[in-house]
């Protein structure tokens, strides 16, 4: 996607040295656009832990390059296994991380240590290319849903979409998942407007989704996380589209904390609730999301403080609670499949159910 007219992906190999990995530091957005050069597997792990890179598909893609960087130092079997295990521990909920590492291991284990490096970079590059293509395809399938809504609108009426967290291009390699159909609808001339949940505590909506949509010229309005139900009750939301960090084999959806409450409000108001995902986000080994998806617990300080930019340009955190207060900070929740209208995948739309997923991915059923 574009920043100031120039096309970017959210991860790429540095063209000057051909080996280090470049990312945008998402902790600096939207205040400044800073790219980071990651030169070691440790730097990659650190960038994932500190959420300088975030978003399920992007975490997987960057971790794949992390493994390539590790092999530059030591391409032995031991190094491969140790660094894969270390990267897999960086964040627990998004399944794309484990998926990407397992794919890299399957590719690299049979290769001799001398030949591993080139294979690792090539495979990480393929993971990136495939993610970009899958998300573009998700965009095309999701665009169909928005076109259906447009047919029911009177001339001049907007299509109102609500989204939670950030599932745009900066959370993937390119295009995004939930935002891909919105970009395509906007580019096709549809009058779309996005309600952007601010997404406390880290404000991925207010900071990242709003930045992305503004950069692309898509009309949007940031709302507090508790406002979505109100707008749904008043007929101001035509559809909810969110991304996801892990979908189970029966269609339960883990996504940023607060997604479940949006799904409940959508159900109560007959607002369709769609989840956009590449198949790399499906965990075929798990069925019951509430029971079996590990939910990341993050630090209390994310809840007790807010981070923003001061009038003189510094990024600062300020406390919003009494000092010493207890705070709990589950980063994700699980929306049961029964609350999900459907899934938007690279292969098309399906019901959030085992049958729905198997109809699009029959090869998984056969495993």
Q: Which residues are catalytic?
A: 245
Please give the residue whose beta carbon sits closest to ligand MRU in the complex: 243
347 is in an annotated binding site: no
Tell me the window of 39-47, 110-118, 241-249, 265-273 that interacts with ligand MRU (CB under 6 A): 241-249
Q: Kindly determine how many residues on this chain lie close enough to bind ligand MRU according to the rule CB under 6 A.
A: 19
Q: Does 172 bind ligand MRU (CB under 6 A)?
A: yes
Q: Does 54 bind ligand MRU (CB under 6 A)?
A: yes
Select the residue interacting with ligand MRU from 9, 24, 48, 55 (CB under 6 A): 55
3-state DSSP assignment of residue 348: strand
Q: Does 9 bind ligand MRU (CB under 6 A)?
A: no
Q: How far apart are CA 162 and CA 236, in angstroms?
A: 9
Nearest by Cα to 239 from 167, 147, 155:
147
Q: Does 204 bind ligand MRU (CB under 6 A)?
A: yes
CA dihedral angle for residue 232, residue 234, residue 238, residue 242, rounded to 10 degrees: -20
204 is in an annotated binding site: yes
> Between residue 269 and residue 288, which ones bind ligand MRU under the rule CB under 6 A?
none
Give the N- to C-terminal CA distance of the chain in Å, as an integer.
Answer: 36
Closer of 238 and 245 to ligand MRU (Cβ)? 245
Q: Does 258 bind ligand MRU (CB under 6 A)?
A: no
Instruction: Concatenate the DSSP letters of all residues of 310-343 into one string.
Output: -TTS-EEEEE-S-TT-----B-EEEE-GGG--EE
Tell me the window of 67-75, 123-131, 165-173, 351-359 that interacts with ligand MRU (CB under 6 A): 165-173
Q: Does 173 bind ligand MRU (CB under 6 A)?
A: no
Measured from the Cβ of residue 319, the count of other Cβ atoms closer than 10 Å reads 11
Nearest by Cα to 145 from 176, 190, 212:
190
The nearest distance, CB 231 to ligand MRU, in angstroms, is 19
Q: Does 344 bind ligand MRU (CB under 6 A)?
A: no
- Cβ-contact 238, 158 below 8 angstroms: no
Burial of 141 (0-12, 13-18, 19+ CB in 10 A): buried
> Between residue 65 and residue 94, which ones bind ligand MRU under the rule CB under 6 A?
94
Pairing assessment for the beta strands 246-248 and 239-242 based on DSSP bridges: unpaired
How far, in Å, are 100, 331, 332 from residue 298 at the CA level?
23, 6, 10
Nearest by Cα to 61 from 11, 1, 117:
11
Q: Does 336 bind ligand MRU (CB under 6 A)?
A: no
Q: How far apart are CA 313 and CA 324, in angstroms?
A: 28
3-state DSSP assignment of residue 157: coil
Q: Does 256 bind ligand MRU (CB under 6 A)?
A: yes
Q: Does 165 bind ligand MRU (CB under 6 A)?
A: yes
- Residue in the structure block whose two tokens are 């964040």: 91
Select the residue interacting with ligand MRU from 38, 47, 48, 56 (CB under 6 A): 56
Q: Does 255 bind ligand MRU (CB under 6 A)?
A: yes
83 is in an annotated binding site: no
Mark residues 315-334: x for contact with ligand MRU by CB under 6 A, - for none: ----------------x---
255 is in an annotated binding site: yes
Q: Which residues are annotated as a binding site for substrate?
A: 54-56, 91, 204, 255-256
> Binding residues for ligand MRU, per CB under 6 A?
54-57, 94, 165-167, 171-172, 176-177, 204, 243-245, 255-256, 331
Q: Which residues are annotated as a binding site?
A: 54-56, 91, 204, 255-256
């Amino acid at each position: 996607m574009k920043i100031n007219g120039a096309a970017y992906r959210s991860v790429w190999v540095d063209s000057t040295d051909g080996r280090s990995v470049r990312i945008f530091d998402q902790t600096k957005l939207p205040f400044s656009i800073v790219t980071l050069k990651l030169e070691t597997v440790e730097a990659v792990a650190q960038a994932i832990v500190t959420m300088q890179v975030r978003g399920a598909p992007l975490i997987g893609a960057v971790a794949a390059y992390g493994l390539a960087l590790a092999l530059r130092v030591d391409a032995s079997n031991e190094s491969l296994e140790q660094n894969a295990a270390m990267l897999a521990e960086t964040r627990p909920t998004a399944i794309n991380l484990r998926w990407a590492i397992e794919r890299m291991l399957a590719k690299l284990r049979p290769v001799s240590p001398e030949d591993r490096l080139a294979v690792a970079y090539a495979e990480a590059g393929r993971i990136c290319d495939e993610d970009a293509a899958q998300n573009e395809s998700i965009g095309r399938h999701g665009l169909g849903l928005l076109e259906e809504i447009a047919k029911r609108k009177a001339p001049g009426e907007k299509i109102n979409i609500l989204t939670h967290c950030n599932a745009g291009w900066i959370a993937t390699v390119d295009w995004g998942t939930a935002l891909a159909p919105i970009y395509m609808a906007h580019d096709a001339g549809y009058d779309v407007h996005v309600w952007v949940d601010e997404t406390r505590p880290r404000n991925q909506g207010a900071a990242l989704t709003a930045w992305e949509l503004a950069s692309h010229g898509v009309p949007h309005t940031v709302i507090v996380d508790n406002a979505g139900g109100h707008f749904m009750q008043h007929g101001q939301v035509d559809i909810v589209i969110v991304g996801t960090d892990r979908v189970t084999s029966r269609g339960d959806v883990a996504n940023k904390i607060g997604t479940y409450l949006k799904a409940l409000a959508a159900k109560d108001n007959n607002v369709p609730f769609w989840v956009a995902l590449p198949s790399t986000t499906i965990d075929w080994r798990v069925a019951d999301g509430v029971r079996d998806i590990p939910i990341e617990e993050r630090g209390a300080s994310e809840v007790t403080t807010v981070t923003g930019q001061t009038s003189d340009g510094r990024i600062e955190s300020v406390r919003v609670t009494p000092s010493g207060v207890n705070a709990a900070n589950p980063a994700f929740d699980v929306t049961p499949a029964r609350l999900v209208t459907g899934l938007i995948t690279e292969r098309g739309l399906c019901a959030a159910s085992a049958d729905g997923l198997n109809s699009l991915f029959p090869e998984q059923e056969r495993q």
